[in-house]
C-alpha cells in the first residue's frame, strides 16, 4: 500500500532518486540537470524554519517510490511581501506510474501549502520537447495554473567542442562549433583592480546589493540571511566574485556548478545572482569577465543565466553571451486565487 508522508532520508538519497527517475524518463530525449547532493542539501535540507514541512514523499513499505519536495520562501510580488514556495523536482518511479501516486502526492502537497499559509508555488515547465512530462501535468490542472512568463536563457560557451558533443539537437551542435571560430574561452581581465573572491565579512554589503537589484523587479525573492549565506558560498557547489570600490563591495556575480546530461555529461556554471549596483559599464565588464574566468577554471564548460532579469544586457553581450529562444514557462500554482500573477515583466528569481 502506498503511504504519503514526510521524506525521512537525506539529501543524497533524494538526489539519487530524483536523478534516477529523470534519467529513466529523459536520457537521450532532452537535456536535464543532474541535481547533486550538495544542491539538495543547500536548497531543501537547510535548518530554516518549516523546511521539512514541504518534503513530501511516497513509500511502498520502506521503498521510496515518489517525491514532491518544495522549498518555502518569501517573495515580493508587485511590491507586496507574499509567502510562497518553489519546486521543480516532482518524481515518480516509472514502475509506479498510472497507479495514482502522482495524484496522492499532489493532494498532500496542496493540503500542506494551505495548512502552512503559502499563497503560491513557483516553478518552470520546459515546453520545447514533446517528451517533457511536466507541462502535461501542471498545465492541465483543473484550476489552470497561470503562466507568469515565458522565459529563455543567456548562454556563453567556454569549451565549444565539449558543448557541441553533448547537444541533442544538431542545429545547436553546429552552432557551438561555428561559434568556436570567433569566440575564445574566457580569460582573466588584464586589470583586476578591486576584483576578488567573496569573504564572509562581505555578506551585509552583498545582501544590500541583491535587495537593491530586486527592487526594480515585479517579482523577486526576499532573502533570509541564512539562505543567502548558503547561496553565496556553499562548498564546491556555489561561489561568488565581488568587486570592491573605496573599501566596500560594489558589485557581485554568484554562480553554482551543475552537471548536465545531453548526449554526454558536461558542467554548466549557472549564474544565479548578479548585482552591479552603480558600477560603470567598464567595471561591470571587468567583474563579469573575471567571474567567467573563475567558472572556467573551476571546470565549467559553459555558463547560463535566465533572461528577463534586471541585468544589463549590453554587459552580457560584451562578455560573449547569446540570447536563446524562450523555451520554458514560469508558472504559479496559486492557493490564494486573489493573488495577481499578471503583469510580471522583470524577475529576480532562481532557475529551479
* pLDDT band, residue 135 (cuts 50/70/90): low
For 57, list phi and psi in degrees, rounded to 5: -140, 160
> Can you tell me the mean pLDDT for 72-79?
94
For every residue of 24-44, DSSP letters joined together read HHHTTTS-EE---HHHHHHHH
Q: Which residue has the cell 547561496?
A: 231
> Which CATH entry fits the domain spanning 2-150+329-340: 3.40.50.10860, 3.40.630.30, 3.20.20.140, 3.40.47.10?
3.40.630.30
pLDDT at 143: 60
> What residues does each domain of the chain span?
2-150+329-340, 154-324
Please report, for residues 33, 82, 188, 244, 253, the alpha-carbon distance to residue 196 in angstroms, rounded to integers and kept in the order given.
29, 35, 12, 8, 11
* pLDDT band, residue 190 (cuts 50/70/90): confident
Same fold, 2-150+329-340 and 154-324: yes
> Can you tell me the mean pLDDT for 108-136?
82
pLDDT at 26: 87
* Cross-strand partners of 279: none
pLDDT at 182: 84
Percent of the chain with pLDDT over 70: 93
**Quick one: CATH architecture of 154-324?**
3-Layer(aba) Sandwich (3.40)
> Can you tell me the mean pLDDT for 118-124?
94
pLDDT at 255: 98
Cα–Cα distance for residue pair 315/129, rounded to 1 Å: 31
Question: How many other CB atoms are found less than 10 A from the CB of residue 285?
Answer: 18
State yes or no: pLDDT of 133 exceeds 80: no
Contact yes or no for 102/137 (Cβ under 8 A):
yes
Q: What predicted TM-score, i.e. pTM, was given to this entire model?
A: 0.92
Amino acid at each position: 500500500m502506498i503511504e504519503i508522508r514526510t521524506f525521512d532520508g537525506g539529501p543524497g538519497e533524494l538526489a539519487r532518486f530524483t536523478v534516477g527517475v529523470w534519467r529513466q524518463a529523459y536520457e537521450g530525449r532532452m537535456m536535464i540537470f543532474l541535481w547533486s547532493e550538495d544542491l539538495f542539501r543547500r536548497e531543501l535540507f537547510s535548518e530554516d524554519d518549516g523546511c521539512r514541512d514541504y518534503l513530501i514523499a511516497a513509500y511502498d513499505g520502506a521503498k521510496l517510490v515518489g517525491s514532491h519536495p518544495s522549498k518555502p520562501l518569501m517573495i515580493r510580488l508587485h511590491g507586496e511581501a507574499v509567502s510562497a514556495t518553489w519546486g521543480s523536482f516532482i518524481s515518480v518511479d516509472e514502475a509506479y506510474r498510472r497507479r495514482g501516486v502522482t495524484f496522492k502526492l499532489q493532494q498532500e502537497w496542496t493540503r500542506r501549502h494551505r495548512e502552512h499559509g503559502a499563497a503560491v508555488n513557483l516553478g518552470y515547465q520546459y515546453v520545447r520537447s514533446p517528451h517533457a512530462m511536466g507541462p502535461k501535468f501542471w498545465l492541465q490542472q483543473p484550476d489552470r495554473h497561470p503562466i507568469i512568463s515565458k522565459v529563455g536563457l543567456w548562454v556563453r560557451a567556454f569549451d565549444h567542442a565539449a558543448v557541441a558533443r553533448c547537444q541533442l539537437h544538431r542545429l545547436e551542435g553546429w552552432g557551438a562549433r561555428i561559434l568556436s571560430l570567433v569566440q575564445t574561452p574566457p580569460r582573466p581581465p588584464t586589470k583586476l583592480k578591486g576584483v576578488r573572491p567573496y569573504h564572509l565579512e562581505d555578506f551585509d554589503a552583498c545582501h544590500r546589493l541583491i535587495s537593491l537589484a530586486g527592487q526594480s523587479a515585479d517579482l523577486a525573492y526576499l532573502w533570509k540571511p541564512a539562505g543567502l549565506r548558503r547561496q553565496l558560498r556553499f562548498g564546491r557547489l556555489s561561489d561568488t566574485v565581488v568587486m570592491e570600490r573605496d573599501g566596500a563591495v560594489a558589485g557581485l556575480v554568484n554562480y553554482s556548478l551543475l552537471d548536465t546530461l545531453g548526449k554526454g555529461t558536461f558542467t554548466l556554471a549557472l549564474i544565479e545572482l548578479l548585482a552591479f549596483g552603480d558600477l560603470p559599464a567598464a567595471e561591470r565588464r571587468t567583474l563579469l569577465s573575471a567571474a567567467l574566468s573563475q567558472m572556467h577554471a573551476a571546470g565549467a564548460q559553459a555558463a547560463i543565466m535566465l533572461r528577463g532579469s534586471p541585468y544589463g544586457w549590453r554587459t552580457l553581450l560584451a562578455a560573449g553571451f547569446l540570447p536563446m529562444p524562450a523555451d520554458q514557462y514560469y508558472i504559479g500554482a496559486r492557493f490564494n486565487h486573489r493573488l495577481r500573477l499578471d503583469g510580471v515583466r522583470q524577475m529576480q528569481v532562481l532557475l529551479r
